[in-house]
Structure 1
């Protein structure tokens, strides 16, 4: 499949690369890292990065303003996006051919070509492996490409702490780290948080009461966001907040927005993506997302998560 993707890229003059809405560093890293790689290897091609920008990730890359006409006859590559609904900029359907490159379970196949590898730590790791295949045909990896892919791998592995980190992950990180970019500056940009975010994180921890199942529940209302002058996107900064707390096997964030309640799920063992799938979402077995539309619906989700956690404890 990697060879087929490379051969397809060679055939197109215009290539538009997408990723998922509400991006994280792996979304940006895989999207922009692939874009830089194609630009370096094929300078005559037009390579565009699609989607709405996230200001907090501007240190990684800036995206392009793309006209409708530029989609006509273009190759579309979608990185790090499990389902069509989450593709940022739905004009991808206007392209000539769609390639899906993703590391999430393939519950919703889409695209004319699909390379899906749930064993990969990140989409950025996959893009690095695409480069290894492409080297046979003259593909080039620049310092900037390496910086972007390294950032994506570091973020999606929780700085190499998550179980998705494997020998292939470390091999990719080792090779990428040999390129010339400032890792200290990269880490600083990725992990620094404003004071108001840090204070709110303290409030959440102070009020935390784990459930008997080992599940921790965090409910963040619009009023709480306003009080601490936070955006819903900024709550992503502390999604791993409960990972080091003894007795907690899984945790869920409910973040209220204008028309939806966003759900972020993390686990130390119980498989949670099946629950996410029941509530308009999906993801990895230990890291998933979903969305619900009322606080009553969150209670149903909590019940389902409680049962998953209890079943896991019984097996242990």
Structure 2
């Protein structure tokens, strides 16, 4: 059932035992939204658990209470409400979907959302789920502490490229300003996010050596990076930002990064104006028009061929987003 922010607040108020979760491979929006909502609900005296079926990236371990996020275990537990954040598909929360039995409230901003929950509030115009949490806090007149403001600023800023991407709206900037007034410090947040381990910098030349360009004529170019397992072994999944290198090449319309795992290939898609969410959806993934992703259960060479062919078809449609 589609619900309003006010009804979402009502559901949270009526529930006492609440589980919060977000998608696997958590990014700044997922974690920032999760931690801020946990802080608010805990302050209201709720019994709150944060479950994620994945590790917390080193990059985000400056956020308060990240260590309270736990992995789901094999036992099944009950709750009054399971809140799924920043996830367009129930599969995206991994083992949490089977570990918790409760009505589901989904707060999300992905245009590809499958409306899988019992209750959902989806705002595809929001730059980040963090914006939805800000609206929720405004609805209930929540006091936003500096740590909550830091989490929410991180959520919003990371999902709109620190206010450089096309999803940045006037409301995005207003919310960011309010969060700074509440105690978020952008220079400290960006310092944490931009600092990389030495191993990441040292492996960058090897990553860039995998760059391939596919010329699609007047439609533009497709640029790819391929991260084999031997490269990823030294990175501990510290690959954030790599895809920006091919995306920023003059003439490139779609950038694709392939990450080789044991049994599948993780694919990240970025574009200037083509709708790459349609490519991701065709392979069971999702995301936004200019930033999407999926997982392909095929050998690397086949996965690359399939995704590149899909990207060519998307470019050939000539449909571009303003």
Same fold (TM > 0.5): yes
- The residue that corresponds to 1:296 in the other structure is 302
Q: Which residue of 2 aligns with 1:243?
A: 247
Q: Distance in 2 between matches of 1:68 and 1:7?
A: 31
Comparing 256-265 and 236-245, the one that deviates more: 236-245
Task: Return closer, same or farther for 1:297/1:203 CA change in 2, 3 Å cut-off.
Answer: closer
CA distance in 2: counterparts of 1:35 and 1:84, whole angstroms: 20
Let me know the Cα RMSD of the aligned residues.
2.3
Distance 1:237 1:212 in 2: 23
1:223 equivalent to 2:230? Answer yes
- What secondary structure is seen at the aligned counterpart in 1 of 2:55? coil
Unaligned runs of 5+ in 1: none
> 1:46 Cα shift?
1.0
Q: 1:21 aligns with which of 16, 19, 24?
A: 24
Note if 1:262 corresponds to 2:269. Answer: no
Corresponding residue to 1:7 among 10, 26, 39: 10
Q: What pairs with 1:200-215 in structure 2 (closer than 5 Å)?
A: 200-213=203-216, 214-215=221-222
1:142 aligns with 2:145: yes
1:279 counterpart residue number: 283
Q: Is 1:117 aligned with 2:123?
A: yes
Matched, 1:252 2:259: no
1:128-160 deviations in whole A, cap 9, x for unaligned?
Answer: 01111111xxx2221111110000111001110
Q: Which has more helix, going by share of residues?
A: 1
Q: Which has the higher strand share?
A: 2
**Do the aligned partners of residues 106 and 290 (structure 1) sit closer, same or farther apart at CA in structure 2, a change above 3 Å counting?**
closer
> Structure 1 237/54 Cα, relative in aligned 2: closer, same or farther at 3 Å?
farther
- 2:46 corresponds to: 45
The answer for the alignment partner of 2:167 in structure 1 is: 164
Secondary structure at the counterpart of residue 241 of structure 1: helix
Quote how far apart the aligned CAs of 1:6 are: 0.8
Contact 2:257–2:268 (CA under 8 A) maintained in structure 1: yes
Contact 2:153–2:184 under 8 Å retained in 1:
no
1:36 to 24, 36, 39: 39
Q: Measure how far apart 1:251 and its partner are.
A: 0.6
Aligned length: 308
Q: Which moved more, 1:6-15 or 1:234-243?
A: 234-243
Structure 2 matches for 1:51-66, cutoff 5 A?
51=52, 52-56=54-58, 57-60=60-63, 61-65=66-70
Query: Per-residue CA shift, 1:75-123, capped at 9, x if unaligned?
Result: 1101001101111442466333110000102441111110011110000
Q: Please state whether the residue corresponding to 1:211 is helix, strand or coil.
A: strand
Distance, in Å, in 2 between the alignment partners of 1:285 and 1:46 is: 37
Matched residue, 2:135: 129
> Structure 1 stretch 263-272 or stretch 202-211: which is displaced more?
202-211
1:309 counterpart = 2:315: yes
Task: Give the C-alpha shift of residue 188 in structure 1.
Answer: 1.3
